[in-house]
């Protein structure tokens, strides 16, 4: 104890002097800069920027501002915020550059969700990147040609383009000389092809063929009366007739306004011991499932493609309505980091197949640009992503994989 007291007065001044000396030395390490990414697929003009400022949405303002859409007052305000928040300017030397071609009026909410899928993937990679969206009014040849030329002029060689069937056909006809990935369309439905275009759409023919192995006769098809629903109806009939040309089938179109199927279901002997195929969106499918039970149709089983692989099924139906249901699913690989990153942006790649397909596309382009291994191992055969098909059954609270 005496030993400690003897040396303590000598140690304390030394320690204190050293601490005070360090507090006055300015570190040579620069403060980290922050960068704000624009996650909005829609363009913002001067009026839009003014509105963001007036509403004090500072980071939305900073994410949209650039030299092309600003006036002098807005540029001055930008410099103030850059200094205040220690923001970096444009990220230099970006090797990872991806353009988004977005016909927002045509694809609706997928303009935002596919954008978020691309951002989530690149953010998870923790590398400098640039993503720029290009809005097009329509999928006409002219709009596509003008936008693709602008994308080339801006120095992009990789494009994610969530297009409809019409847009995909027009883009193939243009034969762009840069790499384009279309997450929404399967190559099968396009008559001609381009060596620069890749497709990520699910093969519904494969899914329907897998379902038909569990079908009984007759097959009763409920389909949405949209163009896509009608195409699925035709494909379902073709798949069913592959089994036996003597098989019976019946089709019922479900319009947007239909909410009661009493006329189609009550006392309908055609439904007795049948297989019911639902080629309808989740809300219409839930209505059909509940009314199949209500009108005691006594069908053998319920079949569905990817369209009803949706967790909403559990909240919108009762277990007794879905207990004999079988669903095909092609979302078979899960990356927990990418799932979590997407969740931060309120984006779904677990059940939403277009977002999942978009993620596969940006993963493939990232592989081409960086040389790193792909996260998703789906093969690309002749520029088409090949998805395995599994069969799942909705139980009390989850989709249980059967094979």
Query: Strand pairing partners for 393?
Result: 400
pLDDT recorded at residue 254: 94
Residue-wise pLDDT for 38-69, tens only, equals 666 667 777 787 888 787 776 777 777 654 55
* Mean residue pLDDT across the chain: 85
Give tens-digit pLDDT for 163-185: 999 999 999 999 999 999 999 99
Sequence-distant contacts of 104-112: CB under 8 A, at least 24 apart: 104/41, 104/42, 104/135, 105/137, 105/138, 106/138, 106/139, 106/163, 106/164, 106/167, 107/162, 107/163, 107/164, 107/184, 110/162, 110/184, 110/354, 111/41, 111/42, 111/162, 112/40, 112/41
pLDDT of residue 44: 77
> What are the structural domains of the chain?
46-85 (no CATH), 96-199+333-385 (3.40.50.2300), 205-329 (3.40.50.2300)
pTM of the model: 0.79
* Per-residue pLDDT reduced to its tens digit, 333-358: 999 999 999 999 999 999 999 999 99
């Amino acid at each position: 104890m005496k030993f400690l007291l003897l040396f303590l007065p000598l140690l304390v001044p030394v320690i204190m002097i050293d601490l005070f000396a360090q507090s006055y030395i300015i570190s040579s390490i620069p403060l980290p800069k922050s960068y704000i990414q624009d996650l909005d697929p829609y363009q913002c003009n001067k009026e839009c920027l003014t509105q963001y400022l007036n509403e004090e949405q500072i980071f939305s303002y900073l994410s949209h501002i650039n030299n092309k859409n600003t006036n002098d007052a807005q540029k001055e305000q930008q410099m103030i915020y850059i200094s205040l928040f220690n923001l970096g300017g444009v990220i230099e030397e970006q090797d990872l550059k991806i353009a988004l071609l977005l016909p927002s009026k045509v694809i609706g909410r997928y303009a935002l969700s596919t954008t978020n899928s691309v951002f989530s993937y690149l953010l998870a990679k923790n590398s400098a990147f640039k993503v720029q969206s290009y809005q097009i009014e329509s999928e006409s040849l002219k709009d596509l040609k003008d936008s693709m030329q602008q994308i080339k002029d801006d120095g992009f060689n990789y494009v994610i383009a969530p297009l409809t069937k019409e847009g995909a056909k027009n883009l193939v006809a243009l034969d762009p000389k840069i790499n384009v990935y279309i997450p929404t369309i399967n190559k099968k439905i396009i008559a001609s092809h381009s060596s620069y275009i890749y497709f990520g759409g699910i093969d519904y023919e494969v899914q329907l063929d897998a379902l038909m192995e569990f079908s009984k006769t007759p097959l009763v098809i409920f389909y949405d009366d949209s163009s896509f629903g009608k195409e699925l109806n035709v494909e379902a009939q073709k798949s069913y007739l592959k089994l036996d040309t003597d098989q019976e089938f019946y089709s019922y179109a479900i319009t947007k306004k239909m909410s009661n199927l009493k006329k189609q279901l009550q006392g309908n002997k055609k439904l007795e011991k049948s297989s019911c195929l639902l080629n309808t969106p989740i809300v219409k499918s839930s209505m059909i499932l509940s009314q199949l039970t209500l009108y005691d149709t006594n069908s053998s089983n319920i079949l569905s493609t990817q369209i009803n692989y949706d967790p909403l099924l559990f909240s919108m139906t009762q277990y007794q309505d879905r207990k004999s249901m079988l669903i095909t699913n092609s979302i078979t690989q899960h990356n927990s980091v990418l799932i979590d990153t997407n969740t931060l942006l309120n984006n779904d790649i677990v059940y939403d197949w277009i977002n999942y397909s978009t993620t596969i596309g940006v993963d493939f382009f990232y592989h081409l640009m960086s040389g790193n291994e792909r996260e998703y191992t789906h093969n690309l055969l002749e520029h088409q992503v090949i998805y395995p098909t599994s069969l799942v059954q909705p139980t009390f609270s989850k989709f249980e994989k059967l094979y």
